[in-house]
Structure 1
């Protein structure tokens, strides 16, 4: 596992947390929820790409 992946996920999490707090304090709870969901989707897409790469590596390794 690459350390860069952990930093990417942490950066997205910090950015989403800051945006969420700003939007909640300004009274825009709906946009805050949408921002949180968008951050979750971005992190899931990053993880799916990494898992796909892992499966490709296993497939190549075992010559399937």
Structure 2
């Protein structure tokens, strides 16, 4: 299905991509802590809103 060269390329690409993502994440970690203070409250609010929509959906259905 795939040639040997394609398999080698895919393996190399995945390893290089993951390594790059780890490097960039560690580099930006300090800035992210300062810029995204309080982001968990937004996430909690969003999840509560979605739960509220599901509650309304099932309440109206019955």
* TM-score relative to the length of structure 2: 0.45
Higher RCO (C-alpha under 8 Å, 6+ residues apart): 1
* TM-score relative to the length of structure 1: 0.44
